[in-house]
Amino acid sequence: MEEDLNSRFFEAVKNEDLDMSASLIAEGADINFKNNYGFTALIIAAVRGYKDIAAMLIDKGADINAKNNDEITALMAAAGQGLTSIVDTLIKKGADVNAVSKFGQTALMKAAEKGHTDIAAMLIEKGTDVNAKITHYETTALINAAKGGHTDMAVYLIKHGADVNVKDNDMYTGWTALMYAAEYNHSDTVSALIENGADANIKTNKYGITALMMAAEKGHTDTVAKLIEYGADVNIITTKNDMTALQFAKRQGHKDIEELLISKGATF
C-alpha cells in the first residue's frame, strides 16, 4: 500500500500536479522516497523546472540536499539547466552550494558548463568554491566555461577568484582554460582569458604543447591570429620532438595558418 502511495506521489510530481502531490503527502506518502535511480520528488521537480512543487516539497520537509545514485542534488540539477528561480529557492532554503557529485562536480561547475552566469553569481555569493576540481580529470568551473566558449562566464569566474592558469589532468595532461578555448576555436574567449591573466605560452605537462600549437593543428585561423596578437610565441617548441606551431599546421595541411605564422616570424 505504501509503495503504491509513493508511486502515485511520484507520478503526481512528474505531472506537475501540485494539489495531488500535496494531498498524497498528507495521506502518508514518503516525501523523501527514492526511485531506482535515487531520485527524490524534489530532485525530479528541480530537473523539470517545477518551481511551485519544489517550494511546496521544501516547505513540507523534503531533504534539500538529498542525492541520486550519481550523488547529484536538486541544486546541481537546477543549476545545470539554468533554472534560476529554482536555484534561488533552493539556496534560500539552505541547499549546500559546495555539495559534490560522485564525479566531484559542483553546482557551479554545472552552471559554468552551460554559461549560466546569473546562477554562478548566486552560488558564488553564497560561498561556493570557485576553484573546486572534478575528481580524476581535475577540471574546474573556469575550464568548463572556456571549453564551451562562455566568455562572460569565464570573465566573471576570474573576477571572483578563479585561477586562470590552473591545469587539469586530462588528455596530454595539464590543459588550461586557454588551451581548451583554443582547441575549440573560441577566439573571443581566448582574448578574454589572456586579457585577464592567462599565460599565452604555458605548456601542457607531458608533451609541452601550447594553445597556439593546438589551434594551429586544428586549423583555427582566427584563434591562431588572436593568440599571436596577444603574445603567443610562434617559435616555442614542444618538450617532446621539438615541434613548433608551424610544424603542427604543416602536418595537417593548413596552408593559410602556415603563411600566417611565417609572416609573424615563425621558422622551421
Helix (H/G/I), strand (E/B), else coil: 177: helix
* Phi/psi of residue 73, nearest 5 degrees: -95, 170
Residue 133's nearest CA partner among 171, 162, 90 is: 162
Question: CA 134 from chain center: how many Å?
Answer: 10
- What is the pLDDT, as a whole number, of residue 31? 97
pLDDT band at residue 153, thresholds of 50, 70 and 90?
Answer: very high
23-58 as b/e: b if 16+ CB within 10 A? ebbeeebebebbeeeebbbbbbbbbbbbbebbbbbb
Residue 18's nearest CA partner among 7, 30, 9 is: 9
Domain with 34 in it: what CATH number?
A: 1.25.40.20
**Considering its fold, how many domains does the chain have in total?**
2
Any domain includes 137? no
Residue 30: domain span: 1-129
CA distance 3 to 109: 36
Any domain includes 196? yes
User: Is it the case that residue 137 has pLDDT exceeding 90?
Assistant: no
- What is the pLDDT, as a whole number, of residue 2? 66
Query: pLDDT tens-digit profile of 18-53?
Result: 999 999 999 999 999 999 999 999 999 999 999 999
Any domain includes 159? no
pLDDT band at residue 171, thresholds of 50, 70 and 90?
Answer: low
CA distance 128 to 96: 9
The answer to which of 61-75, 84-98, 168-182 has the lowest mean pLDDT is: 168-182
Please enumerate in sequence order all residues whose Cβ is within 8 A of that of 253, keeping only pairs 6 or more positions apart, or say none: none
Are 121 and 176 members of one domain?
A: no
C-alpha cell at 126: 553564497
pLDDT band at residue 86, thresholds of 50, 70 and 90?
Answer: very high
Any domain includes 146? no
Any domain includes 182? yes
User: Is it the case that residue 234 has pLDDT exceeding 70?
Assistant: yes
Are 110 and 190 members of one domain?
A: no
Any domain includes 249? yes
Any domain includes 141? no
Q: What is the mean pLDDT of residues 125-146?
A: 94
Residue type, 67: K
